Amino acid sequence: MSDSARVMSDLPTVEPSQPLVFETLSDFGFGDRPCPSAIGQKLDLLLLAIEALQLGGTEYMLAMTQELGLPKIIRNRVVLWRLRCTNPWRHSHSRRYLSLDEARALAAVLTHLARRLTALIRQLLLSEQKLRQKGLPLDNHFRLANYLDQFRSHFRSRMNPRRAKVAAYLESPDQLNQLALSLLNQLLFCTGTAGTQRLWLSLFDGEVG
């Protein structure tokens, strides 16, 4: 080994100050301030849609944190649950706010999972459009009906019916279906190569000025 090569091999490895996936996600001038509560709500609902699309969704989320180099932020299932409980609609709302890095981590995880589900998301949205054009009920399509059923089930079991907006959704299956379909459209919006950046900007729309 040459002297120069030996010197290079002896140098300490310098880890990046933050995960690479965060590099294009602005802090919008928040600095060390926590994110608005609406950010936690939006992220949790999108993750709820991911779970309705894919059995074992939580395990896929945890695996993705490893793949993206985020285990220092989302260490395990309990931490993931606590972060999602920043959604004020939840039964188990924690009354805390996401830090910017926690929000970035959740956004990166969900957009990368959504990207892997792009074909299914497109299929479901196209099927919904065709059913509406023909005046047919949404449950005429098995995969779409299954997604909507799973989403409604997750929503009912995890959200607090004492919250006015949650109660309104629970009283109207049609409105809850519309929420589920709206979330599918949002997931499709963030499946491209710049999907994480697009989602990040949309999350803070109206929250910064």
Treating both helix axes as pointing N-terminal to C-terminal, what angle do 77-84 and 57-67 enclose, rounded to 10 degrees?
100
Break the chain into its structural domains and give their ranges: 34-194
Residue 15's Cβ-count burial label (10 Å; 0-12, 13-18, 19+) is: exposed
34: CB partners within 8 A, 6+ apart: 96, 97, 98, 99, 100
Q: Tell me, what amino acid is at 82?
A: R
Interval 72-130: pLDDT, tens = 999 999 999 999 999 999 998 988 899 999 999 999 999 999 999 999 999 999 999 99
Whose tokens are 């005046």? That residue is 135
Q: Would you say 176 and 170 are in contact if contact means Cβ atoms under 8 Å apart?
A: yes
Interval 4-24: pLDDT, tens = 445 444 544 444 456 777 888
Residue 2 has pLDDT above 80, yes or no: no
Nearest 5°: CA angle at 204, between 165 and 18? 125
What confidence category does residue 207 fall into, taking pLDDT thresholds of 50, 70 and 90? low
Cα distances (angstroms) measured from residue 133 to each of 88, 138, 173: 36, 11, 20
Residue 44 has pLDDT above 70, yes or no: yes
Nearest 5°: CA angle at 48, between 193 and 129? 70
